[in-house]
C-alpha cells in the first residue's frame, strides 16, 4: 500500500490528525462570540493600522494589540469555517 493510502486509512481510523467534535467547534464559536465586534472607531483604527499608519508611543502598543485581536478573531472564524466543511 502506498503512503497516500496509508495516510487516508489512518485518517479514517482516527489516528494522527483528526477532526474536532461538534462540542469543540461550538466552544470555538463561543470564543469568537466572546471576543465581540469592534466599535466603529476601533474598526476605523484597524483600517488605518492595516495601511501602516502608526500612532506614537505608548498608544502604538495598544494599536498593535487591537490589530492582533482583530487578526486572531478573523483567523478563528476562518478555522471554524474550514472545520465545518
**What is the tens place of the pLDDT at every residue in 9-48?**
999 999 999 989 999 999 999 999 999 999 999 999 999 9
Encode pLDDT of 51-64 as tens digits. Answer: 999 999 999 999 99
Residue from 6, 24, 28, 3 nearest 15 by CA:
6
Domain locations along the chain: 19-83
pLDDT for the residue 6: 96
pLDDT for the residue 59: 97
pLDDT for the residue 1: 72
Is residue 53 left, alpha or beta, with left meaning phi > 0 and alpha meaning psi from -120 to 50? beta
Amino acid at each position: 500500500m502506498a503512503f497516500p493510502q496509508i495516510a487516508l486509512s489512518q485518517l479514517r481510523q482516527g489516528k494522527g490528525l483528526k477532526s474536532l467534535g461538534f462540542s469543540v467547534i461550538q466552544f470555538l464559536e463561543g470564543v469568537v462570540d466572546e471576543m465581540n465586534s469592534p466599535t466603529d472607531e476601533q474598526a476605523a483604527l484597524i483600517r488605518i493600522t492595516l495601511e501602516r499608519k502608526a500612532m506614537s508611543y505608548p498608544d502604538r502598543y495598544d494599536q498593535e494589540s487591537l490589530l492582533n485581536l482583530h487578526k486572531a478573531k478573523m483567523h478563528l472564524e476562518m478555522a471554524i469555517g474550514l472545520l465545518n466543511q
